[in-house]
Structure 1
Amino acid sequence: MEERKNNTAMGKNPLEKSIHISIIVPVYNSADFLHQCVDSILRQTYREFELLLINDGSSDDSLKIMNSFAEQDSRIQVIDKVKNSGVSDTRNIGISLAKGKTICFIDSDDWVEKNYLQVFIDNYVSSDILLLQNVIRDKPRNLHYKTYNLQNDFTELFLRNNLLYFGGPCGKFFEREIITKNNITFNSEVSYGEDLIFFLEYIKQIQAINIINAALYHYEFTENSLSRTKHSFDSLFILHSAIADFIFFHHQQTGKKIKKYIYQVDWDIIEACIDQGIIGKKLNKEDSYICMNKIKATIDKNHFLYSGYYRKVLFLLLKTKQYQLLLQLKKRLNK
């Protein structure tokens, strides 16, 4: 078992009785951003939380910075993973060590407004309602703020808000008991979409999602972030399967809109394969065969019927194996 070091003294944590929220921050070579991230957490107006800073084998000064913060604030625990194992494993360790009733995840290169936690607390109603805030990237998304019942409002929630494409763990307030009782984890074998799969598995266990009218989480895009690595076609198809299973789980009698949505997901997966160079790069014969068979199995005539002009062209190029022409078309359109 991998060695981990925890700076919390042996024995019962004196804060344990008052911990309402466990904040899990995976850290990998984030020295340039870590001060801003942790400072924003420690400035929270809501104070009853523990902060788990988990070092994923960083080679920069991240661990030194984490330990410095821990010396100043007893709510902070530093967990040092000697060997890098990725964001999924790091988050899972955080879940296993968390003591709070609720869990929220913050990436080490992101930061939050000082009332981020308080807004969650003020909107908390029940353990079977997931709280979700807007996340600021370049600008807040155009979300429709209300509480959605997953049984009755499924189409509106996922079609109108396009929620599946923002299913990462940040900006959400999870119940620890629901996670542990149902053995929900981040799949460390999947390099892309593991956070969305976690989200889908979680909301299978609850009744509603409350999208709060707030945008207090600031997402910073960096190339070296734990959660922003290039992905394989295997991961893309695992993600596609998880999304399709989830849609049918919540909507057994599939209407036209839901079918159209599944086709949209299919196309997004295929285009991701193309954009990542999976179709265009020189795979070995076996991998090429597997990849193309998966794509062909995904596409049928209904995809053609439900597609716009551009995707009709894409469909025909794929079916006729005009891969070089397809790549040239994508390259021109992406300029």
Structure 2
Amino acid sequence: MDPKISIIVPVYKIEHYIHKCVDSILAQSFKDFELILINDGSPDDSGKICNEYSVKDSRIKVIHKKNGGVSSARNAGIDLATGEYILFVDSDDWIEKDALDTLINQLKLEKSDSIIFGSVKDLYTEQKLIKSELNGVHKKVNINVSDLGSNFVYLFNTVGLLASWMYLFKAKIIKDHKLYFNESLVLYEDFDFNLRFLKNSINLTFIPNVLYHYNMSTSINQLAKRNKYNIVSDINTVSNSLLEFLELIGNKEGIVRQMYPYILTMYTLPLKNIILHKKLKLREKFKVLEELRNDKIFAKVFLEYGKNLKFYKLFYAFINKRMYLAAYYLISLKFK
């Protein structure tokens, strides 16, 4: 008997896109799934549309909850899911008609804890597709998590590993280890969840099949649309998850050092963020710089990698001496 799949779709202010998303799921050639629509307090007609779908198809469950963000909505879906595997789909995206069939057929061949598949990022302007970016491996790869070290950087650069919608997750691992999305994070919540899941997994399968279409047009700047201006703690949380996972799989071929440039790029986001929030008072901006000064992961990455880069060398010298005004003007010159 084929395993059942629970598909979790967080819904918020997406009334113009949700039909394409849900219709792509209901059109699946594989039929044994449950679709969990989580209306996260959407102020538009999205919740009404969800209800209309649930009346038409018994496989659909709808939950209406107070707005708490995408992580809160996904967590509500996890608690409700009854399938052996869980697939996350964003409500402004869509999946290929044979997506579930492809995943089920892979599970028949490989009893994997997760199947990670290819995706396409589509950019539209005025309903016209102007650009598509393909992400995924070139051929199928079965791998033990403990052996991921020598392949991690390649897979990170080709597949991405960041978004939870490119994974089919084994529900038992999520339930047994009480894995939930960190609701305090405003960014990289997917990556943090994925790393904690992988940490508790054994076997993975990467397939080249493109099953998911991500709508870049509706993904506006996350730093601009979210109210949390100080995201240093968020970067520290996901960086810690990444370093813990890399330590688990072993520092093969200097994998940790190879990830330092990416970690440093993540830590650059708080700097850009305080420039974007021009209404913040200087003392609030200095608070961000103070947190960076006290962040041990940032210090480690700087000392082992960033000190060879002119901007970071000067910036770190300023914050280390608590010369926050000088550091702020340096950031302004670089990122304005």
Deviations 1:12-68, CA, capped at 9 Å, x for gaps: xxxxx9871111001011101010000110100000001011100010000111111
Q: Does 1:328 align with 2:320?
A: no
- Give the distance between the partners of 1:228 and 1:289, measured in 2 at CA: 22
- Give the distance between the partners of 1:33 and 1:301, measured in 2 at CA: 46
State the secondary structure of the residue aligned to 1:151: helix
Corresponding residue for 2:84? 101
After TM superposition, the score normalised by the length of structure 2 is: 0.82
Deviations 1:185-228, CA, capped at 9 Å, x for gaps: 11112222221111111111222321111112010131479999
| Backbone CA RMSD of aligned residues | 2.8
Alignment of 1:34-73 (within 5 A): 34-73=18-57
User: Of Structure 1 and Structure 2, which has the larger fraction of its residues in helix?
Assistant: 2
The number of residues matched between the two structures is 307
Percent of matched pairs sharing the same residue: 29
Residues 278 and 114 (structure 1), Cα distance of their counterparts in 2 relative to 1, 3 Å cut: same
Q: Bigger CA drift: 120-129 or 107-116?
A: 120-129
Corresponding residue for 2:239? 240
Residues 257 and 330 (structure 1), Cα distance of their counterparts in 2 relative to 1, 3 Å cut: farther
Corresponding residue for 2:263? 266
Deviations 1:292-327, CA, capped at 9 Å, x for gaps: 33276244442147x6xxxx1222221232532343
CA contact (8 A) 2:119 2:166 kept: yes
Residues 161 and 19 (structure 1), Cα distance of their counterparts in 2 relative to 1, 3 Å cut: closer
- Give the distance between the partners of 1:299 and 1:265, measured in 2 at CA: 10
CA contact (8 A) 1:49 1:100 kept: yes
Q: Bigger CA drift: 137-146 or 54-63?
A: 137-146
Q: Does 1:194 align with 2:196?
A: no
CA contact (8 A) 1:148 1:157 kept: no
Corresponding residue for 2:13? 29
CA contact (8 A) 1:167 1:199 kept: yes
Corresponding residue for 1:177? 172
Q: Does 1:91 align with 2:77?
A: no
- Gaps in structure 2 of 5+ consecutive residues: 122-131, 319-325
CA contact (8 A) 2:149 2:255 kept: no
The one-letter amino acid paired with 1:220 is: N
State the secondary structure of the residue aligned to 2:17: helix
- Give the distance between the partners of 1:224 and 1:286, measured in 2 at CA: 26
Alignment of 1:194-213 (within 5 A): 194-213=189-208
- Gaps in structure 1 of 5+ consecutive residues: 1-16
Corresponding residue for 2:290? 289
State the secondary structure of the residue aligned to 1:268: helix
Residues 263 and 74 (structure 1), Cα distance of their counterparts in 2 relative to 1, 3 Å cut: same
The one-letter amino acid paired with 1:166 is: L
State the secondary structure of the residue aligned to 1:170: helix
State the secondary structure of the residue aligned to 1:259: helix
After TM superposition, the score normalised by the length of structure 1 is: 0.82
Corresponding residue for 1:318? 315
